[in-house]
Structure 1
């Protein structure tokens, strides 16, 4: 079938659905929901058999759904209606939630149901639940709905009753720091994480709060900022304290809290952790190390997978320290939602907003990423594994590929390319790492096509080495089992020797420094050259500018010479 994905943005759910539907033989095109006329034009050009809307912020025009079946992905249980479904589910402490695929009609979220899937809730942010449980349930429900539609004899059922939940407002999210306990504060920020955040004040300045973490030991007067650690500020509650990782000041962009309030936080005491080992009690810790037998596990939980210059430098320091531990296998695990998405575009943008140079900060950041990748590539005393449990993009994909083995959780999406960010060339030694895995032609195709890959798709083309269970707990258990077997393998010394020999041979053929110099010559033009595409694209990305057109590599129906099959 021809299936048109109509969406507000090419988010992780839209990427996943597009890839899954293509794998099942459907011809899929994407159109951003910009206006009624644009949607009508897309429907006319592509003449889809079915329209699927994974992520919308407004209604599909009647002129479209009257002529073509349009399936809406609603992040709520059957009978739930309204634009803030997941927000309310978190606020109301629901233990189970779901996704419903229903047909578009004049009344919002009231159409007949084609499929649904439920999931258990966990204590997490809205953004995390959306990227994981919601996306998994939505994928299952949409695929089932498409099967029902293809069968031709399925009759969708209309719910006999439903409950409308209004748009959640900031008044519903207000934190009373003199009354709300830690659990309440976490719940309110979690329910608003990603967008729009909780409207509040810090240092008597209005802002929105994101990225909250509990603190087990430090205490202070309720509402007072009592400590800072790297990018996070610690604010006391009536029964404990909460770390605030990111904020958005009025008129600015979302930034690490200590950067957004750098001047105001100058006198706030620092509360550093003593070392890289995982803290024994809940706290804010973005880099944490653990060991189990002969296996070391280095975790890095960076918000949205973005890695600033300092975060890259700190992770490299932790990596070099972990390399000196008496282990045989070293596993790098990113965060729950993202492994890595490469350089930190928001921090780079902040440099230009604060009178500095975005080009200079971009240059510092990519060099720090390269230094980190180099340390990973040249690890000789351990077998290295990148265990990817969350979505990964751009430089993050090639930082992972710097490992000896790459294991990916099923359901994760990988975007191993750079050009969508203003024709950025990319670095992180991709010109060395990618062709040697997939071949020169496939490497160029990946970079040119700019399409996301599923975990299964990445394995099939040779980019990765294993696709593990989609269940998070099972994925982690598989990592531990496989890493332990690897560490205990009798042939491990021979593997390490072969690894060192291969690296020496590659270095003799063409030094890593040559790959880096070539890549960085391109990156220098991206950052400092006459073509400002990267800076424009970064600005619009950071500012969350509304799309004015659908990228041509996504919209098949807008390609020159497009004709209906």
Structure 2
């Protein structure tokens, strides 16, 4: 297959866009990213780039006519819907209507949105109970990669896309309206599963607006529970979540965003933080692994079980963000787990991101964000310290994508096993941070000093295949989350006798504790300058991230040499 110059046009360099970029790179093509800032800039960059093909894995903006009218260089939209489906709320409707099958379609951009000829399509079963983010980052992402591969193959072969014909019985999708809050609304008197489905369908954005504790809030991160009470009443608090009674039982709500006043901006935070003093009279259910290690509570952000000589500790923090308090709870859980009579400690994430490091939203909401960031980074360092000092052989299961300190937290383990298809971002500098989490020890230990410097300076995503080749991960497991969990526990049970890990076991015995402590001290010295004294504009970058400010342009690290050369020629 010949190599193509491909523009990846996207509204943001999000997880799906990163995976598409990696997929094209690994297939031998030369992708260059263009972030949609304004129509004129985008048209100029693409028209003068010399690109063969434009692929849009995540584009919320309308493709300008100047681009889609060029039939020699097609613009292909990756739409998260079956053939014939149109509209921006495809996944929201699929979850809300409890469809059994859904899909992804690659279609050519034309004047009418999502109405162009079809290049490729891929369908999949749609299990109930998935959040929109789980669906998007899981089955939709997998289907999108298959569509992108097929698009490229057909383009190289000279195969034309098939016109969309609603008269064909195979074309089942239809134009769907953008989902509004009126479409999402529920009453706390409704049944728990219905309410949860409404919240799941709005996961990430925009959330579902509901009345709670006398105010109006967008609600996120719902979990079923069996307790009951007066619908709409807050029954209890546990960790960061509040338990709300509904028609037939109750739901834990993990995150809220207050409805903004005119001209105001608000952002998502842990529910307990948002409601604050309004929870003074609400009972606190204060179980933990240390106090009730094997309880049967439905909602457990940190949970533990044992299998033979393996202790398995799972932590599941919404969107992979880890606040100071969450890190402190995880430290306590690790200390308890390390005292158990086990020989392997398996740590793993839940069903979303593995970890993305410190909790930027909680930091931004603090009275003094820099000081909260400083407390947060020390708390997540404490988590890493518990792993590095564990008596047991520590195995980390990267169940989802990870970024910045989340990657380094995983690397603090002795053995790292990753789920197929996740994306790692082992760098900090785009947030104006030097980085901590013992990265100056664990990353060179895994990949060597030269590669560690390259990864943290290039600030590019890494696929599981690349991570395996570099030594960041030791094995790659199944893509299916349930299959991966079973495989992970099986592998953890085998590492003590596996000759492939003999060197790892020996390395653990020879760990230089003084060097480890030196790395932490030096990192924190740099991070104090970044977080407390704002030497590299961390405060501004954090604010832009939390308030979802649109990029002013495409970062140069994402622009391929062939596209950059054309830009220079144009300027001359």
Instruction: Indicate the residue corresponding to 1:486 in structure 2.
Output: 495
The alignment partner of 2:92 has SS state of helix
How far residue 441 of structure 1 moved from its aligned partner, in angstroms, is 1.1
The alignment status of 1:332 with 2:347, answered yes or no, reads yes
Compared CA separation, residues 86 and 428, structure 1 to 2 (3 A) = same
1:272 aligns with 2:286: yes
Say whether residues 1:360 and 2:368 are aligned partners: no
C-alpha contact 1:294 1:487 (8 A) present in aligned 2: no
* 1:48 positional shift: 1.2
Q: Deviations over 1:493-538 (max 9, x none)?
A: x8797244311xx23xx53221111111111111133535111000
Distance 1:383 1:157 in 2: 57
Contact kept, 8 Å, 1:556 with 1:562, in 2: the verdict is: no
| Residue-pair matches, total | 551
* 1:211-258 deviation per Cα after TM superposition (whole angstroms, max 9, x unaligned): 111002x11111111111110011111100011100001232100000
Q: Does 1:85 align with 2:94?
A: no
Which residue of the partner structure matches residue 214 of structure 1?
Answer: 224
Change (3 A) 1:475 1:278: farther
Query: Is structure 2 residue 83 aligned with structure 1 residue 69?
Result: no
- Deviation of 1:296 (Å): 1.1
Q: CA RMSD in A?
A: 1.9
Alignment-derived partner of residue 330 in structure 2: 315
2:139 aligned with 1:133 = yes
Q: TM-score, normalised to structure 1's length? A: 0.94
Cα contact 1:9–1:32 (8 A) shared by 2: yes
For 2:464 and 2:233, how far apart are their aligned partners in 1? 44
Q: Which of 432, 440, 443 pairs up with 1:431?
A: 440
Show the 5 A alignment for 1:93-492: 93-122=98-127, 123-161=129-167, 162-178=173-189, 180-216=190-226, 218-251=227-260, 252-273=266-287, 275=289, 281=296, 283-351=298-366, 356-380=367-391, 382-421=392-431, 423-487=432-496
Query: Which whole-Å CA distance do the structure 2 matches of 1:561 and 1:531 have between them?
Result: 34
On the 8 A contact 1:214/1:282 being kept in 2, the answer is no
In the alignment, which residue of structure 1 is the partner of 2:506?
498
Distance 1:376 1:427, change over 3 A: same
Deviation at 1:109?
A: 0.8
Q: CA deviation at 1:158?
A: 2.3
Residue aligning to 1:39:
42
Cα distance in 2, alignment partners of residues 561 and 274 from structure 1: 58
- Partners of 1:91 and 1:413 lie apart in 2 by 28
2:553 paired with 1:553: no
**Secondary structure class of the residue paired with 1:432:** helix
3-state SS, counterpart of residue 416 of structure 2: strand
Deviations 1:174-222 (A, max 9, x none): 11122x1111100100010100000112211111001111002x11111
Q: Distance in 2 between matches of 1:7 and 1:118?
A: 23
CA gap 1:560/1:112 in 2 versus in 1, 3 angstroms: closer
Instruction: Quickly say closer, same or farther: Cα 1:561–1:8, change in 2 above 3 A.
Output: closer
Counterparts in 2 of 1:42 and 1:370: CA distance versus 1, 3 Å: same
CA distance in 2, matches of 1:366, 1:274: 23
* Runs (5+) with no aligned partner, structure 2: 168-172, 261-265
Aligned counterparts, 1:12-27, within 5 A: 12-27=15-30
Q: Report Cα offsets for 1:88-129 as digits up to 9, x if no partner.
A: 001101111110010001111111111111122121111111
